[in-house]
Amino acid sequence: MKRRQFIRHLGIGSLAAGATIAAPAVAAKAEFKWKMVTAWPKNFPGLGTGANRLAQLITEMSGGRIKVKVYGAKELVPAFEVFDAVSRGTAELGHAGAYYWKGKGEVFQFFSAVPFGLTAQEVNAWLYHGGGMELWRELYDRFGLVPTAAGNTGVQMAGWFNREIKSVDDLKGLKMRIPGLGGEVLKRAGGTPVNIPGGDLFTALQSGTIDATEWVGPYNDLAFGLYKAAKYYYYPGWHEPGSVIECFINKKAFNALPKDLQHIVLTASKAANLDMLSELTARNQQALDTLINQHQVKVAALPDDVIQKLKAISQEVVAEIAAKDPLAKKVYDSLINFRSQVSKWSAVSEQAFMRARSL
């Protein structure tokens, strides 16, 4: 009897020990099913596919331990409700542009695009090595979110117009879809900024609801067929010289991940950031050739006096926002000081080389 009891107890102990040893292996295989809501039409070239690519990277890099399902605008929530949906936990990930959240605080716009601000290469330098990311995290932490840079458009086009822009006077009364800081600048120049989700742009422009619209650049604009609704296509994108496309993560969901999966999510975002900029750089000229040669689009530079006026107003707008809020002032000082420093290097590197290459 004692022998049988001893063997029975030994078996139970062995099983208990086995369970203890196996526990880490079970935990390591824990799976997380995440939803990503986006501000873009489903599978839209560049932006929508950029969200898809990020979801794929997270899924594959994690070995399937995090499975991400992507929802286009309006599939789960409307485009402009993405931020709140992730903040309250309806979805774990959001993919959008920070200037869409201007209503929560004007400082948000500094993390998407600042008129006459930083190029894509410069803004990445500021975020990753100039203190920008720490400030961004401080802002989003108030809403229970972890922000990441997950793409960049590079320098955009100034937009599509139903009339020629020959002087500053031509901006007066102009109804234009232009979000963020660029919209406020246009307003002070005499225009009327309108914020419309990307999926509604073509109809609004074609119907005359708006007189002009900016979107991204030739690759994305061709996909929307905007050339069918307006014939004048202006450059440069003074309002968005290096627009950051963000992915923000619900903080509770992020903290629930093991450390290795946290690193995978952040590293995948960096990879997606590079990939989107690379794709748009590769595709834009091909699309521009199509717009010019197949669709007879009139491409022109904005007049110098228009650019100078917009630049002067931009400086006023950005400085005024910085004066309203202590955090906005911190972000503004960091960004402007970094721009001053990096622009000196850009002048003797990128700009000098571009000039040399064009001789």
In order along its 359 residues, the chain shows pLDDT tens digits of 444 454 444 443 443 334 433 444 444 578 999 999 999 999 999 999 999 999 999 999 999 999 999 999 999 999 999 999 999 999 999 999 999 999 999 999 999 999 999 999 999 999 999 999 999 999 999 999 999 999 999 999 999 999 999 999 999 999 999 999 999 999 999 999 998 998 899 999 999 999 999 999 999 999 999 999 999 999 999 999 999 999 999 999 999 999 999 999 999 999 999 999 999 999 999 999 999 999 999 999 999 999 999 999 999 999 999 999 999 999 999 999 999 999 999 999 999 999 999 99
- The residue count of the chain comes to 359
Q: Which regions of the chain does DSSP assign to beta strands (E)?
A: 32-38, 66-71, 93-96, 145-152, 159-161, 175-177, 192-194, 212-213, 232-235, 244-250, 298-301
Answer yes or no: are the C-beta atoms of 120 and 242 closer than 8 Å: yes
Distance CA 263, CA 257 (A): 10
Q: What are the tokens at 252?
A: 């509770």
Domain 30-152+242-281 has CATH 3.40.190.170: yes
Residue 71: helix, strand or coil by DSSP?
A: strand
Q: Which residues of 331-354 are buried (b: 16+ CB within 10 A; e: fewer)?
A: bbebbbebbeebeeebeeeeeeee
pLDDT of residue 315: 97
From 115, 132, 135, select the one nearest 124 (Cα to Cα).
132
The secondary structure of 13-27 as a DSSP string is HHHHHHHHHHHHHHH
Alpha helices in 94-238 (DSSP H): 120-129, 132-141, 180-188, 201-207, 218-224
Q: What are the tokens at 52?
A: 């898809």
Pairing relation of β-strands 159-161 and 298-301?
unpaired
Distance CA 181, CA 105 (A): 12
pTM of the predicted model over 0.85:
yes
Answer yes or no: are the C-beta atoms of 160 and 152 closer than 8 Å: no
Peptide bond into 236 cis (omega under 30): yes
295 Rama class: left (phi>0) / alpha (psi -120 to 50) / beta: alpha
**Backbone CA torsion sign across 88, 150, 226, 179:** positive
- Which CA distances in Å does 239 have to 183, 185, 226, 298, 307? 9, 9, 19, 20, 10
Q: What are the tokens at 173?
A: 């009364």
